[in-house]
Structure 1
Amino acid sequence: MAGVAYTTVGGDSYTENLIGTLLAIFGNLLVSIAVSIQKYSHVTLAGTKDPRAFYRTKTWWCGLVLTVLGEAANFVSYAFAPLSLIAPLNAVSVIASSILGFIFLREKWKPKEFLKRYVLSFLGCILTVAGTYLFATFGPNYHQKLTAENIVKQVVGWPFLLYVLLEIITFCLLLYFYKQRSANYLVVILLLVALLGSVTVITVKAVAGMLVLSVQGTMQLNYPIFYVMFVCMVATVVFQATFLSQATQLYDSSMIACVNYILSTSFAIVAGAIFYLEFNHEDILHICMFLLG
């Protein structure tokens, strides 16, 4: 799109991508550790009659602090690297949670299930590591400088407007079948979450990018688009949480986590490609290897 400034391929772009990638990996690791610590707190207090006893434990509060730090690192990472590179790195949390659950929490399986589940889990982790490596290696190198002017140009551009129109139509149809036709299938609910999530990641990257530029000295907080993006970010997060809460009442949490990761990551990559034009300067080989990841 004419008039949009991009970082050039070279030292600056590589450094920013590396910072964003490391922040995302670090943030997801912290979140995984935090979840394990909080789960450990709940496990140790399983026999306690007081349901709120965990609020008085240091381990639970330590987990909460690590969660906040991890999510903060994830938030800032979107300002430095392309959205299509950061979103799939949530897989780091999946791998870390599996390892910590087996070692730290000493989750055990029955002898008959051990071989099958251990082998499948190990194979899944290996494939996830390989896919994450391909994402990081062949992810887009170009990303837009997130000034308010550039974000406004993207918002009023026809690719994004067409994408939003199609997304609104799809969302309304799914919501109609979900609410009026009682089509409470897991895929339907998580598609609603993923559609909202694609807007969330766009706004998160915009808000994070403008905040970082403001901290660096280029003030962006006096532009209305910052507050529009912030409101959209909060609203979509709230509605996602609502739909996920409804899904947890109907389906197993492990199934929800897997399907939600796949759908949300896919929609996030598409949203980044359309709004931030992240693949416009990539060759066919890089795109194919990224899709393989």
Structure 2
Amino acid sequence: MGISRDNVHGLTLAVSSSIFIGASFIIKKKGLKKAGATGTRAGLGGYTYLYEPLWWAGMTAMIVGEIANFAAYAFAPAILVTPLGALSIIVSAVLAHFVLKEKLHIFGVLGCVLCVVGSVSIVLHAPQEKPIYSVKQVWHHATQPGFIIYTCIVLILVAVLIVRYVPRYGQTHMIVYVGICSLMGSLTVMSVKAVGIALKLTFSGTNQFKYFETWIFVLVVTVCCLFQINYLNKALDTFNTAVISPVYYVMFTIFTILASVILFKVHLLSKCLTGSHKMDHR
């Protein structure tokens, strides 16, 4: 059974996305180093990297990678596209080893392998989501008590990390910066999903941007992305890229899965109940 042309396009976009995103970590790191040599480092609260063309080249590579990843889902099913996101870890780790001279030891190699194996296992055993036909459906799920509580917990944890732990442990414990990025990232992904649905439906003829809910999701994406970019820069400027990349990927994936389970709990629970009902009749 041959692979379809759409799947080939989707997989090509997904692989390209991983290469761009993985390389963007290295380019941004070099830009941060160059900016830090002439001004206050990002890890110490400086923003001189905003004047560094190399850093902007890295940001451009990351944006191109994210666009390619978004487009890949339009051609190929998620079960084929998602596991390839783990390739960005391999790309950044290998490039960090050779370009930045950040030595990748045996435990680093093992960590990268485990990331890839874990990602593939999660995707292959993930339950299927029911299709969503309106941004209002996502808004309905997002305003349920469970997800509101999750969002409040995330915001409280981020605030505590920023106010209490960044000044004390930001320079010595990468988990502080990575934790902020991962927690905010879980909210980003849920909002991006809503914005993606809005764009898809709008292009198909059903305008979703006439609803205020769509613009709230756009605002959340913007704010969360700014937080992630800021603290990811601090992490890259302070710690080895070969370590940051896999740890960030794992934490980001864990919180994203948790947020997705809470947001779409009705779909997942109905699937589980259906499965258990079938087991009772065997």
Q: Secondary structure at the match of 2:128?
A: coil
Closer/same/farther in 2, CA of residues 222 and 84 from structure 1, 3 Å limit: farther
Q: Structure 1 residue 101: deviation in Å?
A: 7.6
Corresponding position: 1:213 with 2:208: no
Contact 1:79 1:212 in 2 (8 A): no
C-alpha displacement at 1:124, in angstroms? Answer: 5.0
Counterpart-to-counterpart distance in 2, 1:199 and 1:214? 23
Q: 1:108 to 1:173 in 2, by over 3 A?
A: closer
State how far apart, in whole Å, the 2-side matches of 1:170 and 1:226 are.
26
Q: 1:151 aligns with which of 129, 138, 161?
A: 138
Q: State the secondary structure of the residue aligned to 1:280.
A: helix
Shift of 1:131: 2.7
C-alpha separation in 1, matches of 2:160 and 2:101: 43
C-alpha distance 158-87 of structure 1, shift in aligned 2 (>3 A): farther
SS of equivalent residue, structure 2 residue 207:
coil
Q: CA deviation at 1:259?
A: 1.8
Partner amino acid, structure 2, of 1:258: P
**Counterpart code for 1:31:** F
1:28 corresponds to which letter in structure 2? S
Whether 2:120 is the aligned partner of 1:133: answer yes
Contact 2:26 2:92 in 1 (8 A): no
The separation in 1 between residues aligned to 2:96 and 2:252, in whole angstroms, is 24
Q: Which residue of 1 aligns with 2:156?
A: 169
- Give the SS at the match of 2:268: coil
In structure 2, do the counterparts of structure 1 residues 131 and 195 end up closer, same or farther at CA, with 3 Å as the change threshold? closer
**Whole-angstrom distance in 1 between the partners of 2:9 and 2:136:** 22
1:71 to 61, 66, 71: 66
- The aligned counterpart of 2:42 is none
Counterparts of 1:29 and 1:175, CA distance in 2: 29
Matches of 1:274 and 1:84 in 2, distance apart?
Answer: 20
Q: Alpha-carbon deviation of 1:155?
A: 2.3
Instruction: Report the counterpart of residue 36 of structure 2 in structure 1.
Output: none
Q: 1:164 to 1:88 in 2, by over 3 A?
A: farther
Structure-1 residue corresponding to 2:181:
193
1:19/1:268 CA distance change after superposition, 3 Å = farther
Alpha carbons 2:186, 2:252 under 8 Å: kept: yes
2:40 aligns with none
Q: Which runs of 5+ in 1 are unaligned?
A: 1-14, 43-53, 287-293
Distance 2:250 2:191 in 1: 20
| CA distance in structure 2 between the aligned counterparts of 1:282 and 1:24, rounded to whole angstroms | 31
For 1:193 and 1:32, how far apart are their aligned partners in 2? 16
Of 223, 236, 255, the match for 1:267:
255
Equivalent residue number for residue 240 of structure 1: 228
Identity %: 27
| 1:202, distance to aligned residue in structure 2 (A) | 0.8
Report 1:1-293 matches (<5 A): 22=11, 25-31=14-20, 35=24, 68-76=63-71, 89-97=84-92, 117=105, 123-124=110-111, 126-178=113-165, 182-184=168-170, 185-277=173-265, 279-283=268-272
Distance verdict in 2 for CA 1:266–1:37, change over 3 Å:
closer
Contact conserved, 2:146 with 2:263, CA < 8 A, in 1? Answer: yes
CA root-mean-square deviation: 4.3
Change (3 A) 1:134 1:70: same
SS in 2 for 1:256: helix
The 3-state SS of whatever aligns with 1:255 is helix
| 1:90 alignment partner, SS class | helix
Q: Secondary structure at the match of 1:279?
A: helix
Matched residues in 2 for 1:138 and 1:20: separation? Answer: 24
Question: Normalized against structure 2, the TM-score is what?
Answer: 0.67
Does the C-alpha gap of structure 1 residues 86 and 281 become closer, same or farther in structure 2, counting only changes over 3 Å? farther
Q: Please tell me the residue identity of whatever aligns with 1:183.
A: Y
Checking the alignment, whether the CA contact within 8 Å between 1:194 and 1:267 is kept in structure 2 is yes
